[in-house]
Structure 1
Amino acid sequence: MSLPSECDVLVVGGGNAGFSAALSARENGARNVVLIDKCPEEWAGGNTYFTAGAFRTAHAGLADLLPLVNNVDAATSKIIDLEPYTPQDFTGDLLRVTAGRSDPQLGRTLVGDSNDAVKWLHKHGVRFQLSFNRQAYKVDGRYKFWGGMALKTQDGGKGLIEDHRRAARRAGVSTFFSTMAKQLVTGAEGTVTGVVVELTDSSSAKSTRTISAKAVILTAGGFEANPRMRAEYLGPGWDLALVRGTPYNTGDGLEFAMRDVGAKQAGHWSGCHSVAWDANAPANSGDRAISNEFTKSGYPLGVMVNTQGERFVDEGVDLRNYTYAKFGRAIMGQPDGQAFQIWDARGTPWLRDEEYRDSIVRKIRADTLEELAEKLAKEGGLHSPAKFLETMRDYNVAANAFQAENPNAQWDPAVRDGVSTQSSRGGLALPKSNWALPVDKGPFVAVKVACGVTFTFGGLAVNPQTAAVVAASNREVPGLFCAGEMLGGLFYGNYPGGSGLTSGTVFGRRAGRAAAQRAKASSGVRSNL
């Protein structure tokens, strides 16, 4: 099938937001919907492909979610503890982790649409599961879900993209790869009437075409795979961050939207989602086979030290869902931009296999802390073994003092258990606020981590109701919509885990609906290009 010269709705970008927008446009009456992506087909899915497939949604409890999932039988359902996650809970978490900076109108839309959004995806064939492996611990024979997030897609991001592409084919969406958007075409009164694209054929030859459209939806990702833009906006050293996902999210859509139609910038341009990432992972893109398994989120079960041998974050300040997206930045700020995660025999049994199995990660093992210090210096780049041992001794003294003073305190990884390093003896200047078991029982395991950048928080301003792009003049750009990572204003410094995919579907769905309505109402606007 050849690339058409015109369509009703043109979607630029093929991740979760793009496919949600395209499907919504078709569902709402757009006759000819075209989705383009600059990546070759073997890289289909954008950053979505590399996610764990988690969706954060408000819900009324287990009974609300069971009809959506395919991995819970009747017997299992009776041993699940899954409390309701109300809109108030979701809103509170969003505001708390963004320090109150999240745009309230965008937040209300995200939260208010979240439950219906996952049910809409399920209706269109997205396979959901309860996330037993990532969001529940089995305690006293019961699965205890924690952190306000229970849903994931089958086979993570890989499965989500597979389901999206299947749904798009059924709906009649035309998808084209190796097709890069280069310029927005505008007509009278700044109306967007199409896109100039560059095609790359099988012999790597390039050609330029113009696709006319009655509405254009931008879902082309942030600038996380662009070292220059990372250093420019995120700060010095960020060009050295490891890219967690697709190498094709290089900020092109953001730049041409601002250049061509004066799109207004919004959100936290010096902020990003960044995680503890395997230091030995590829530098400039994710691995499509290993995918999200390079994430190293087991730090609440142990301690994390930098290459100087010092702790630098409160590993237990909150549930992992509310810290993992900002601790990558904390690692980036350390000497060498690297750190070590460390556990003893108590912590290692709780590590998730998909992130820490031997075939995925290089582990440094030792029977004593002294031996571990020596190996970390020799094999991992630890600069001060003596400081490391001092840090570990101080931590263990504080953790043991808490336990002596609170003999009935129960360690529970599924809740904020209050098991800390602080006691009447004073504790540590940098506490571990929860899950602070001593790390003194061999054998010990250490894993070296770096900063893996996932997506950037700066983006374009939109109308929260329609996802229409707003210009610097504060007027909407006629015919232009935006969703996914390109939408700015939701996340600042951090985000509640799983809300990125939810945002992509919520605002992609709204953009598709509004674009379809515009296409149906439009009689065509002649281009000035």
Structure 2
Amino acid sequence: MANQRSYNLVVVGAGNAALCAAISAREEGAEVLVLEKGPKHKRGGNSFFTDGAIRVAYHNLDDIRKVVTDLSDEEAEVIVMPDYNEDDYYQDIMRVTKGESQPDLAKQLVDRSFETLVWMKGHGVKFELNYDNQSYEKDGKRQFWGGLPVKTENKGIGLMKQLFSRAEELGIDIWYETAAVELLKKGEKISGVVVQQGENRMTVESTGVVLACGSFEGNKKLRSEYIGKEWEAAIVRGTEYNTGDGISMAMAAGAEKFGEYSGCHSIGTDYHAPKVGDFNKPGDIFKKHSYPLSIMLNNEGKRFVDEGADFRNYTYAKYGREILKQPGHVAYQIYDSQVRPLLRKEYDLEEATYYKGETLDELVNQLSVNKQQFLQTIEDYNAAVQDGDYNPTEKDGKKTVGLTPEKTNWALKIEEGPFYAFPVTCGITFSFGGLRVNSSGEVLNKDDKPLSGLFAAGEMVGGIFYHNYPGGSGLMSGAVYGKLAGSTAARYAMSNKQDSKIIH
């Protein structure tokens, strides 16, 4: 590493949002340095662990084919692709966040989503149809549902591989095992960062800084402080390096924290999943997302949510919290042989933990639960199931009557053996608390004025997600606000150039 280098812009973090920011800034002509706290073999942040589903507004299959370009005419002929336009996307965000999402931030995310996907494709990111998780075959057609038909090729692994490759092609410097620890200011302007490399601390001067190093979900102490004591027990599904450093640095420099600090994206994940993301087993393989077709019971043998309240895209990010509230932080997803063939692929992986019994008695005897209540709950559920057509491709209204809570869709009796129980616990993906950021990616101070030279993207943008989120929106938000923050920061840096150097 040279003793002196000049950078217009420093990007803190190296996930999807950070690299989109770096690439976007490089397009504007900025000299860019990316700082990654972890070692090279653990690079990519939470984005490395994603399943790759990315929510985008589109108007028809022709739009989708602009980003999924290897789809043949023959394949397209048998696809039923419902439109999912900007208003649909915006209304979904507002519905699941109970109207608390900041309208300007949500609208920017929605309106820029398609053009950002096209931009990513232009930089080599490959997209494919989300056949496995968002479609069913019906009447010889492949029916898509849930507004989430696109995913990145080879999940988050493929996404990050291509973004790193493109960053390197563009001459963007990346320093690994380098933690940003403090933001520098000259007067009221950000002027660089202090970084720690092993025992060595140095100052990197730059005209602008983009913070894209995640929220605080990897920090047990902050989870306990902001979200609740029980969250110390949550599994961290992604990188262990998202510990809130960017938020604390920004606040020390005058930024305002913002968003739902008591909220987070959390899911039901395999009870025996690793305690932090395992870079040797990426790809979101431990989640268990076919629960709308199940009933979920805690170890007291009681149901605790309406499993069929909505498609999993709109409930999975909040049901992890409900599982964490249960005794022992555990629940069991119960399926019979009618439903077992419909489950998502993660249920068939060798990493999946499950119990199987030819009868319900045989199944329950393998579980550490209140056996009598467990069997009684299933008996009561079966008796409450109403007649009707069962259709997993739509909210079919096939429900129960007389239960608390009811199951309002996809209620099918559990009656055909063998029977299966998949134990799940809570895995936290990211925290909703971040910084106050405007729709151009500028970080704001307590007077709602831009903090000159400081920008943010990804999880660090507070105010978009509250309570819940529509599946695939986090990855899209990272890309949209990464691209925006990068271009805004580059234009700022290029018009406010200073002599930038590294001082050892």
Residue by residue over 1:273-307, the C-alpha shift from the partner in whole angstroms, topping out at 9 and shown as x without a partner, is 00001110111334532440101101011111111
SS of structure 2 residue aligned to 1:137: strand
Whole-angstrom CA distance in 2 between matches of 1:139 and 1:435: 17
Partner of 2:54: 55
SS of structure 2 residue aligned to 1:292: coil
- For residues 292-331 of structure 1, what are the structure 2 equivalents within 5 Å? 292-331=284-323
Whole-angstrom CA distance in 1 between matches of 2:341 and 2:134: 16
Partner of 2:190: 192
Is 1:420 paired with 2:395?
no
- For residues 161-200 of structure 1, what are the structure 2 equivalents within 5 Å? 161-188=160-187, 190-200=188-198
Aligned alpha-carbon RMSD (Å): 1.5
Whole-angstrom CA distance in 1 between matches of 2:344 and 2:472: 18
Unaligned runs of 5+ in 1: 201-205, 404-408
Which letter does structure 1 place at the counterpart of 2:111?
G
Q: 1:343 aligns with which of 326, 329, 335?
A: 335
Partner of 2:361: 370
Partner of 1:446: 421
Residue by residue over 1:467-499, the C-alpha shift from the partner in whole angstroms, topping out at 9 and shown as x without a partner, is 110012322110000000111000001000000
Which letter does structure 1 place at the counterpart of 2:491?
Q
Structure 1: which 4+ aligned runs deviate by more than 6 Å? none
Unaligned runs of 5+ in 2: none
Is 1:394 paired with 2:380?
yes
What is the deviation of 1:198?
0.5
What is the deviation of 1:141?
2.0
Partner of 1:21: 21
What is the deviation of 1:164?
0.4
What is the deviation of 1:5?
4.2
What is the deviation of 1:410?
2.2
- For residues 15-164 of structure 1, what are the structure 2 equivalents within 5 Å? 15-30=15-30, 32-70=31-69, 72-164=71-163
Which letter does structure 1 place at the counterpart of 2:20?
S
Whole-angstrom CA distance in 1 between matches of 2:404 and 2:296: 15
Whole-angstrom CA distance in 1 between matches of 2:102 and 2:7: 33
What is the deviation of 1:172?
1.7
CA contact (8 A) 1:17 1:219 kept: yes
What is the deviation of 1:524?
2.1
CA contact (8 A) 1:19 1:165 kept: yes
What is the deviation of 1:98?
0.3
CA contact (8 A) 2:263 2:433 kept: yes
What TM-score, normalized to structure 1? 0.93
Whole-angstrom CA distance in 2 between matches of 1:500 and 1:121: 16
What is the identity percentage for the equivalent residue pairs of Structure 1 and Structure 2? 42
Residue by residue over 1:342-384, the C-alpha shift from the partner in whole angstroms, topping out at 9 and shown as x without a partner, is 100011101122x1115121210001111111111xxxx22x1
Which letter does structure 1 place at the counterpart of 2:307?
E
Partner of 1:267: 259
Partner of 2:488: 514
Partner of 2:246: 253
Is 1:478 paired with 2:449?
no
Residue by residue over 1:306-326, the C-alpha shift from the partner in whole angstroms, topping out at 9 and shown as x without a partner, is 111111110000001001111
Whole-angstrom CA distance in 1 between matches of 2:141 and 2:389: 16
Whole-angstrom CA distance in 2 between matches of 1:481 and 1:332: 34
Is 1:276 paired with 2:268?
yes
Whole-angstrom CA distance in 1 between matches of 2:149 and 2:2: 41
- For residues 182-221 of structure 1, what are the structure 2 equivalents within 5 Å? 182-188=181-187, 190-200=188-198, 206-221=199-214
Which letter does structure 2 place at the counterpart of 1:165?
F
Structure 1 485/358 Cα, relative in aligned 2: closer, same or farther at 3 Å? closer
Partner of 1:203: none
Which letter does structure 2 place at the counterpart of 1:275?
I
Whole-angstrom CA distance in 1 between matches of 2:151 and 2:470: 15
Which letter does structure 1 place at the counterpart of 2:13?
G
SS of structure 1 residue aligned to 2:196: strand
Q: 2:462 aligns with which of 488, 498, 503?
A: 488
Which letter does structure 1 place at the counterpart of 2:236?
V
Whole-angstrom CA distance in 2 between matches of 1:143 and 1:15: 33
Which letter does structure 1 place at the counterpart of 2:200?
S
Whole-angstrom CA distance in 1 between matches of 2:420 and 2:149: 29
Whole-angstrom CA distance in 1 between matches of 2:427 and 2:72: 36
User: How many residues were matched structurally?
Assistant: 502
